[in-house]
């Protein structure tokens, strides 16, 4: 079998990929420990891909405990060149209503205490990466064009605010994030995107708005049951998009 070069990293609502004809599951180890789940090799739309469940196959790993370095290293080790990361997020600005698909183009990192780089030990020299545009332009364009082709009403740009979790944010925190320029809020966008850039992997996020963020919309509190329902609707669109994306690359 030709080794796949595309990986799909699934978050909340996408711990398995419907339509993926599984060929093998491979438990791997890395210098940074164990990834969140085995690498699932399979065929989707007649092309080989790798699927990784970011929160584990039973969705038991909270965002601040994910071993992001092991996950991205394992994909690089497997020969992956492109990563499409699927994530559930909260909507901040008016366009980001529940069940919308968003293809963000910028990110602001509010996380803390996460292992966020490979460039820290035994270096020949201090290493920096350019992170001006955190998402791969080619992958973003592919996702945007396929949304248009499949009549998915996606928001084609936006700023992802990455918070520490696992708690949701306060109204004041969301207000601050809006002032900072954030359009959506999630808990897994960083350091995943930066680690992919460090390993020279193309990386783009396909986000599903699961709910209005704190203080937005009409609800006084955020209901987890409503989030689950909305994520289910949005992930149906994501699966349609991925089925179109895989053969187009």
Least confident residue range of 39-43, 62-66, 191-195: 39-43
User: Could you write out the three-class secondary structure of 39-91?
Assistant: EEEEEECCEEEEEEECCCCCCCCCHHHCCHHHHHHHHHHCCCCEEEEEEEEEE
> What's the pLDDT score for residue 7?
95
At residue 222, the pLDDT reads 72
Single pTM value for the model: 0.92
What confidence tens digit (pLDDT) does each residue in 135-179 have?
Answer: 999 999 999 999 999 999 999 999 999 999 999 999 999 999 999
Per-residue pLDDT reduced to its tens digit, 14-45: 655 666 778 899 999 999 999 999 999 988 87
pLDDT, tens digit, 9 for 90 and up, residues 70-119: 999 999 999 999 999 999 999 999 999 999 999 999 999 999 999 999 99
Burial per residue of 16-34, b for 16 or more beta-carbon CB atoms within 10 angstroms, e otherwise:
ebeebeeeeeeeeebebee
Tokens of residue 18, six digits: 């419907």
Name the superfamily (CATH) of residues 6-248. Nucleoside phosphorylase domain (3.40.50.1580)
Of the candidate ranges 80-84, 119-123, 182-186, 199-203, the one whose mean pLDDT is the lowest = 119-123
- Beta bridge partners, 186, equal 162
Nearest to 31 by CA among 199, 241, 187: 199
Averaged over 176-183, what is the pLDDT? 98
The residue-averaged pLDDT of 224-246 equals 81
Delimit the domains of the chain by residue range: 6-248
Confidence category of residue 12, pLDDT binned at 50, 70, 90 = low
Task: Report the alpha-carbon distance of residue 243 to residue 225 in Å, rounded.
Answer: 27
User: What's the confidence (pLDDT) of residue 17?
Assistant: 62
């Amino acid at each position: 079998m030709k080794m796949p070069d595309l990986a799909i990293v699934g978050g909340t609502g996408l711990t398995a990929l419907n339509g993926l004809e599984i060929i093998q599951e491979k438990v791997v180890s890395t210098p940074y420990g164990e990834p969140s789940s085995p690498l699932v090799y399979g065929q989707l739309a007649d092309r080989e891909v790798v699927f990784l469940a970011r929160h584990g196959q039973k969705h038991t790993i909270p965002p601040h405990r994910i071993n992001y370095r092991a996950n991205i290293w394992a994909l690089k080790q497997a020969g992956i060149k492109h990563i499409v990361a699927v994530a559930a997020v909260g909507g901040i600005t008016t366009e980001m209503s529940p069940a919308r698909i968003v293809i963000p183009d910028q990110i602001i990192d509010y996380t803390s205490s996460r292992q966020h780089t490979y460039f820290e030990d035994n270096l020949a020299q201090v290493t920096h990466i350019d992170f001006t545009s955190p998402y791969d332009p080619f992958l973003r364009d592919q996702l945007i064009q396929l949304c248009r082709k499949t009549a998915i009403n996606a928001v084609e740009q936006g700023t992802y605010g990455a918070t520490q979790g696992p708690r949701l944010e306060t109204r004041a925190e969301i207000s601050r994030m809006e002032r900072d320029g954030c359009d959506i809020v999630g808990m897994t966008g960083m350091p995943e995107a930066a680690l992919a850039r460090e390993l020279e992997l193309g990386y783009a996020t396909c986000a599903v708005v699961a709910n209005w963020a704190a203080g937005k919309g009409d609800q006084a509190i955020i209901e987890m049951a409503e989030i689950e329902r909305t994520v289910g609707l949005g992930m149906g669109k994501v699966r349609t998009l991925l089925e179109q994306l895989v053969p187009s690359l």
